[in-house]
Amino acid sequence: MNTQEIIKRAQEVLNIEAKEIQKVSSDISEDFVKAVFEILNCKGRVVLSGIGKSGHIAGKIASTFASTGTPAFFMHPGEASHGDLGMITEDDIVIFLSNSGQSNELVSILPTIKRIGAKIISITGDSSSNLAKQSDIHISVKVTKEACPLGLAPTASSSASLALGDALAICVLDLREFTAEDFARSHPGGSLGKIVLVKDIMLDLQSTPLINIEATIKDAINEISLKKVGFTAVVNSVGKPLGIFTDGDLRRSMLDGIEINSSIDKSMKKNPIILKSDQMAVEALKMMEEMKITAFLVTDANNFLIGALTIQNLFKAKII
């Protein structure tokens, strides 16, 4: 195969899998909805299981659930009958993945799980299979064609199962009102750990330089020197920000001949850019880079000043 033939073949595989996922999407029924609410209301944990390629997919779906607010783990069916079934309680939900729905390793442990009392959800490509019939809820992921030219290796079917598992997890996430802050809490390391909110790393109000709109440039210098930050917020009588005054503004004021006892209103930057405390820190970093500034004032939902975010805060939090 030459370069163009390889590219064409790759595109054929991707197109087949995309088409099959779209077909599964159009086949979603009320059984999917029932599964979403069962998972949402589960008092225990969600246990994913499958054998072979389906097992790999089940493990990934379990990870997705766990990272989006639903306690979940993968149970290998081969280990289940050798003690791991002891991890399952009557409050749990067990989700089985099997393209054929006939995997002996899964069917053989169904009676024990039923005796335990856990709900069973199956995701298979055959609604008439043993696994489908013995489940409390069955979701179909039937595909008409595998991307494998032999029609043997799970390709489109495994991709469809993975996509359906993601759809389950995201629907539950939406209903649970899972937030970016919740996500960051379960991802403290690596690049995902950078999904930190402004309020988690900002200077608090006590550490933020702050003067009233009636203050002078001299007052601003004293406040900046006291707090050892290169700017001060300027607020009204109730604590809402009206401006910001920086070291750069001080130099420009001196060069313009403005006296040190002049009102801060003459030299501050009015209508400063404000961050909300629940914005993500990486978003603030992007704004700093685009606007070439190194600090923002932070307000709450009622627009009262509650702190400030500086580039040093981002360095300390390892966002940069």
Using one digit for the tens of pLDDT, what is the confidence trace for 141-172? 999 999 988 877 889 999 999 999 999 999 99
pLDDT of residue 180: 63
CA distance 168 to 126: 19
> In three state form, how does the secondary structure of 51-100 look?
CCHHHHHHHHHHHHHHHCCCCEEECCHHHHCCCHHHHCCCCCEEEEEECC
> Strand 231-235 vs strand 241-246: parallel, antiparallel, or unpaired?
antiparallel
Take residue 95 and report the two structure tokens written for it: 């989700």
Q: Rounded to an integer, what is the distance from CA 215 to the centroid of its chain?
A: 43
In one-letter notation, the amino acid at residue 129 is: S
H-assigned helices in the chain: 3-26, 30-40, 53-67, 77-80, 104-107, 110-116, 130-133, 156-176, 180-185, 198-201, 217-227, 247-255, 281-291, 311-316
pLDDT of residue 1: 84
Take residue 150 and report the two structure tokens written for it: 């032999």
The torsion angles phi and psi of 291, rounded to 5 degrees, stand at -95, -5
CA distance 171 to 194: 24
- With 90 as the cut, is the pLDDT of residue 194 above it? no
- The model's confidence at residue 196, banded by pLDDT at 50, 70 and 90, is confident
Choose among 138, 88, 91: nearest CA to 113: 88
Q: Which domains does the chain have, with CATH numbers?
A: 3-178 (3.40.50.10490), 198-316 (3.10.580.10)
Q: Provide, rounded to the nearest whole percent, the portion of the chain with pLDDT above 90.
A: 79
Choose among 302, 284, 197: nearest CA to 239: 302
CA-angle at 98, arms to 169 and 67, nearest 5°: 25
Q: How many CB atoms lie within 10 A of CB 12?
A: 12
Q: What is the mean pLDDT of the chain?
A: 91
Tokens 């595989």 found at = 13
Residue 274 is given by DSSP the state E
pLDDT of residue 165: 96
pLDDT of residue 191: 54
pLDDT of residue 176: 87
pLDDT of residue 317: 83
Average pLDDT over residues 217-223: 95
Q: Contact at 8 Å (CB) between 34 and 141?
A: no
Q: Give Cβ neighbours of residue 307 (< 8 Å, ≥ 6 apart).
A: 199, 202, 203, 204, 205, 207, 208, 277, 297, 298
Average pLDDT over residues 35-63: 96
CA distance 131 to 124: 8
pLDDT of residue 81: 78
pLDDT of residue 185: 60
Take residue 169 and report the two structure tokens written for it: 């997890």
- With 90 as the cut, is the pLDDT of residue 63 above it? yes
Average pLDDT over residues 18-28: 95
